[in-house]
Amino acid sequence: MKKDIQNRLKTISLSIIESYKTYKQISHLNSEDLPKREEVIDVVLRLREVLFPGYFSKHGCNSKSVNAMVDEEIDIIYKKLHKQVYCAFVLYADKENADKSKLLTSAEEKTLAFLGKISYMREILAMDVKAAYEGDPAASSTDEIIFSYPGIFAIMTHRIAHELHLLSVPLIPRIMSEYAHAITGIDIHPGAKIGKHFFIDHGTGIVIGETTQIGEYVRIYQGVTLGALSLRAGQSLRGTKRHPTLENNVIVYAGASILGGNTVIGEGVVIGSNVFITKSVAGKTNVSMKTPELQYIDKASKKSRKKDEDMMIDWVI
Amino acid sequence: MKKDIQNRLKTISLSIIESYKTYKQISHLNSEDLPKREEVIDVVLRLREVLFPGYFSKHGCNSKSVNAMVDEEIDIIYKKLHKQVYCAFVLYADKENADKSKLLTSAEEKTLAFLGKISYMREILAMDVKAAYEGDPAASSTDEIIFSYPGIFAIMTHRIAHELHLLSVPLIPRIMSEYAHAITGIDIHPGAKIGKHFFIDHGTGIVIGETTQIGEYVRIYQGVTLGALSLRAGQSLRGTKRHPTLENNVIVYAGASILGGNTVIGEGVVIGSNVFITKSVAGKTNVSMKTPELQYIDKASKKSRKKDEDMMIDWVI
Amino acid sequence: MKKDIQNRLKTISLSIIESYKTYKQISHLNSEDLPKREEVIDVVLRLREVLFPGYFSKHGCNSKSVNAMVDEEIDIIYKKLHKQVYCAFVLYADKENADKSKLLTSAEEKTLAFLGKISYMREILAMDVKAAYEGDPAASSTDEIIFSYPGIFAIMTHRIAHELHLLSVPLIPRIMSEYAHAITGIDIHPGAKIGKHFFIDHGTGIVIGETTQIGEYVRIYQGVTLGALSLRAGQSLRGTKRHPTLENNVIVYAGASILGGNTVIGEGVVIGSNVFITKSVAGKTNVSMKTPELQYIDKASKKSRKKDEDMMIDWVI
């Protein structure tokens, strides 16, 4: 490299280092103890192999090797997750008074408690896979669902992140859920409570907010928002119930928005495509858009064209 | 690691292994022969280099090295794809009566038949790239399109997956299409039939269902759903035509939904943004939403504000 | 491998190589000098560590090691980016008359000019992180935002790509922005001008077109399109202002579409969820959909069900 360029790069480096003093809120100059995003993601992918044994391992497994696989993976997952949970505790701790050995022990207990939930998570996930198979006529087998359905990856990651959230582990659950969001386009906050036998089809664009509550046997489609009403108050809304409640057996079709912390969608309700709703709906109701008025213009004459029959949305009934 | 923790991890491992006996539908304890998602993805990326030579190789290629590159890649792709197709056949075969040597030979023939389609796929993809260039004023060159357009990656992967689907290869096409979905947000089922010179712009949120038929010179934008009407019947709908037909030269703008297996969108039709349609449309028609009524409220006075001119959607004409 | 299969693969390879002569627009047989997508992505990820020091490095950094880290990274980024910028210049140059040493020098100058903007980008990004923290009640810390928010990754990548776009570097900015699109579902063209303190929440499905102008303190949500009106004219529209202008302090809620190059959304305007707008809006106005009419059908009796109170969209006020 030319001397001249070397010098100019040196000047640039110095000005960057200088800027680290000015915008401290986006610098972490003592970051040995900072959680590592890549380690958190590695934990999720290893948990996937333990939750669905055989499907995602490099060399497969058989009924003999599976015991050794689980022993080894649980060991590795424990070490990695314990480290990340500890780092998250340090990051959110009161810098002055933090008792590091206490944080270490707490991270141990939380990590063990989490790992103790794996069998339970398998029970729930078995029902989620069943829900996907039953709900999607394009599914040819449960293997296809486990291998390739983004909805299953999203709900698996959510069930992992939610257990850590329940254990009051900061940051780590959110890194997990945003990883699933990046892979699937499905954005579920770790705080959302979601019952068993949950099915997400296609999924891209789905948003499920922090204080959402979803019952059992619920199905939602791409582009659905379970969100907050006004968001302008920002941080002042922290901790309040801002997102809706869906009772058991609700179906929400593509593109619908259900907003507000007091909005309760009753048992067995079907919310049609693109419906925008901010009030509660009584159980056993089908909600759909009134027939949208469309204009049909003949391209050649630029004149309106009559349809033989009226456009009718009869599909949710 | 402390002895105590080791013991607790051991207990956790044992309970997990125990749970593998209970939820067998999400375990594959004899999985040496299971398809490998990562191998399938590697095949797609290698095919990309063969389909668009020079663009994605680590070291580039020149008119001399290209022959060796193709020989080598075709060899590797054959071996990998053959293995995956074979594993998929084993997975879907009748466990008792499967003749493994027959499955091996069948996988050979299917893989060779697929590779024989590469030149044909290049012919179609050359037109898809042309469609993107002609259709997008932001495109500065066809190189930019091949390097970076998610729509091209999605349609390339679809054309690969669809050829395997036509050869009745199970599972592998779906793993491919869901990989493209993860990368692009564009969800095209391998079963969809799509004519040449197809252009997808932006693409996030697009869903194209299994039994969709799309003619030539069609263009679709982000958030478009070509979907099924009622989905509540689930698996009982398998194999029926549930998704729409789009004839040649149709344009579907962002956010529109076209639903139903009997819905035929005629030649040259333009479907406007956000249109929701479940009935057929005659050719050479522009379909758009009736002017949506909006409310304009002055923030200070909280009173309604009159617009000088009416809101008018004149953009599709 | 069987001799027979070897021969058939050889025939396939030859026909593929033959097809490279026919569809030249999708082949690059002399591609040693072609930009490499993976190198461009590596530059973005290294810049992320320099822009947010400590957060994404493998081993963390401390106040001592940070200087060496910056020196080393700036050196590597310079070499890699210079190479990619040079390759992009070669690709877009007039093949006959290109003066390669001139292109090399120009790439040097552009790369240095770009690196000189890093401190400035940090200043803007510090405000973008602040915007996310203030705007999202679910955010528990700015660390969580930097680690996991897709909106921050998208706007960071945009600010990098936009600086290169301003320096008239072809192709490289677009590869960067499409990488961020793949990761986040947020599609921002490198040409878009976006003021400081910009917040994107959730983000999946957002499209921000090439000639969009966005003021300061603006907030947008998932599924928002800032797009063009008619797109049928394709390449003939190149270079014209086709996308809207948003003035300072505008909020655009989920799923809204704002279209057209002459459409100006005035200061302080709030655009409600799903609004579709193609005309300018005066400042300090709340725009929302008129109450959409919904149908409530009792599932058992199939009869319409009256609601106790009318559906009312009161959330944007």
Tens digit of each residue's pLDDT (9 = 90 or more) over C278-287: 999 999 999 9
The CATH number of domain A205-317, selected from 3.30.1360.200, 3.40.50.300, 2.160.10.10, 3.50.50.60: 2.160.10.10
Please state, in angstroms and rounded to a whole number, the distance separating the CA atoms of residues C158 and C152.
10
Please tell me the CATH code under which domain A33-187 is placed: 1.10.3130.10
Chains A–C, number of C-beta pairs less than 8 Å apart: 244
Q: Are C299 and A250 in contact (CB under 8 A)?
A: no
**Look-up of token digits 């690691």:** B1
Return the biggest CA–CA distance within chain A.
80
Residues of C in contact with A190 (CB under 8 A): none
How large is the average pLDDT for residues B214-232? 92
d(CA C69, CA C58): 12
Please tell me the predicted confidence (pLDDT) of residue B312: 35
The arithmetic mean of pLDDT across residues C299-314, rounded, is 61
Model confidence at B317, pLDDT cuts 50, 70, 90, reads very low
Q: Which two tokens stand for residue A52?
A: 């669905």
Whether pLDDT at B302 is above 90: no
Q: What is the pLDDT of residue A311?
A: 37
Question: In this predicted structure, what is the pLDDT of residue A96?
Answer: 77
Question: Cβ neighbours of residue B267 under 8 Å, at least 6 residues apart?
Answer: B215, B247, B248, B249, B250, B283, B284
- The answer, yes or no, to whether residue B25 has pLDDT greater than 90, is no
Diameter over CA atoms, chain B: 80
Strands A285-289 and C294-298: antiparallel
Q: Is the dihedral of CA A240, C254, B183, C164 positive or negative?
A: negative
Residue B11, pLDDT > 70, answer yes
* B303-315 per-position pLDDT tens digit: 887 654 443 333 3
Q: Average pLDDT by consecutive 10-residue portion of chain A (317 residues)?
A: 93 94 87 89 97 86 86 97 96 85 96 97 97 91 95 98 98 98 98 98 97 98 93 74 97 96 96 93 92 83 66 35
Mean of all residue pLDDT scores within chain C: 91
Give CA–CA dist C153/C206, Å, rounded.
Answer: 14
Over residues C140-150, the pLDDT tens digits come to: 899 999 999 99
User: B: neighbours with 3+ CB pairs under 8 Å?
Assistant: A, C
Inter-chain residue contact C32 with B59, CB threshold 8 Å = yes
pLDDT of residue C316: 34
pLDDT at residue number B159: 98
Query: Binning pLDDT at 50, 70 and 90, where does residue C314 land?
Result: very low
* Residue C304 forms contact with A (CB below 8 Å): no
Say which amino acid occupies C27.
S
pLDDT given for residue B311 in this prediction = 37
Average pLDDT over residues C100-112: 96
Give B32 or C308, the one with higher predicted confidence.
B32
Sequence spans of domains, chain A: 33-187, 205-317
Give the three-class secondary structure for C304: strand
CB A136 within 8 A of CB B209: no
- Above pLDDT 70, what percent of chain C? 95
In chain B, % of residues over pLDDT 70: 95
* CB neighbours of residue A315 within 10 Å: 18
Three-state secondary-structure class, residue A288: strand
pLDDT, residue C247, reads 98
Query: Distance, in angstroms, between A102 CA and closest chain C CA?
Result: 22
| Structural contact between residues A249 and C265, judged by C-beta atoms closer than 8 angstroms | no
Q: Sign of the C-alpha dihedral, residues A118, A120, A121, A126?
A: positive
**Cα–Cα distance measured from residue C241 to residue C235, given in angstroms and rounded to the nearest whole number:** 13
- Those residues whose C-beta lies under 8 Å from the C-beta of residue C83, and which sit 6 or more positions away, are C39
Q: What is the pLDDT of residue C231?
A: 63
What dotted CATH number matches B32-186?
A: 1.10.3130.10
- Is pLDDT above 80 for C108? yes
Question: What is the C-alpha separation between A235 and B89, in angstroms, rounded?
Answer: 54
Give A-chain residues touching C149 at CB under 8 angstroms. 178
| pLDDT (0 to 100) of residue B313 | 35
Cross-strand bridge partners of residue B236:
none
CB of C39 closer than 8 Å to CB of C84: yes
pLDDT of residue A133: 95
Nearest to B254 among C1, C227, C279 (CB): C227
- For residue C233, what pLDDT is reported? 67
Show Cβ contacts of residue C181 under 8 Å, excluding neighbours closer than 6 positions.
B150, B204, C154, C187, C188
Chain C residues with CB-CB distance to B254 below 8 A: 207, 225, 227, 257
The hierarchical CATH code for the domain C29-185 is: 1.10.3130.10
C-contacting residues in B 178-217 (Cβ below 8 Å): 183-185, 201-202, 204-205
Transcribe chain B into DSSP letters.
Answer: --HHHHHHHHHHHHHHHHHHHH-GGG--SS-TTS--HHHHHHHHHHHHHHHSTTTS-SS---TTHHHHHHHHHHHHHHHHHHHHHHHHHHHHS-TTT--HHHHHHHHHHHHHHHHTTHHHHHHHHHHHHHHHHHH-TT---HHHHHHH-HHHHHHHHHHHHHHHHHTT--SHHHHHHHHHHHHHS-EE-TT-EE-SS-EEES-TT-EE-TT-EE-SS-EEETT-EEE-S--TTGGGGTTS--S-EE-TT-EE-TT-EEE-TT-EE-TT-EEPTT-EE-S-B-SSEEEEE----EEEEETTT--B---SS-----TT-
Percent of chain B beyond pLDDT 90?
75
Using a pLDDT cut of 90, give the percent of chain C over it. 75
**Pick from A181-185, B306-310, C14-18, C153-157: least confident:** B306-310
Which residues make Cβ contacts (< 8 Å) with residue C185, sequence separation at least 6? A185, A204, A205, B185, B204, B205, C150, C203, C204, C205, C206
Window C:101-130, CB contacts with A under 8 Å: 108, 112, 115-116, 118-119, 122-123, 125-126, 129-130
CB count within 10 Å of CB A25 equals 14
Sign of the C-alpha dihedral computed for residues A55, A57, A58 and A63 taken in this order? negative
pLDDT score at B114: 98
pLDDT of residue B232: 67
Say what the pLDDT of residue C307 is: 56
Burial of B258: CB neighbours in 10 Å, binned 0-12, 13-18, 19+: buried
Count of CB pairs separated by less than 8 Å, A with B: 241
Q: What is the pLDDT of residues C46-80, one digit of tens each?
A: 999 999 999 998 777 787 889 999 999 999 999 99
Residue closest to C58 by CA, chosen among C45, C40, C71, C76: C45
Instruction: Report the distance separating Cα B256 and Cα A101, nearest Å.
Output: 57
C252-279 pLDDT, tens digit each: 999 999 999 999 999 999 999 999 999 9
Instruction: Flag whether pLDDT at C291 surpasses 70.
Output: yes
Helix spans in C96-224 (H)? 100-115, 118-135, 142-148, 150-166, 172-184
Give residue B113's pLDDT band: very low, low, confident or very high (50, 70, 90). Answer: very high
Phi and psi torsions of A286, nearest 5°:
-100, 125
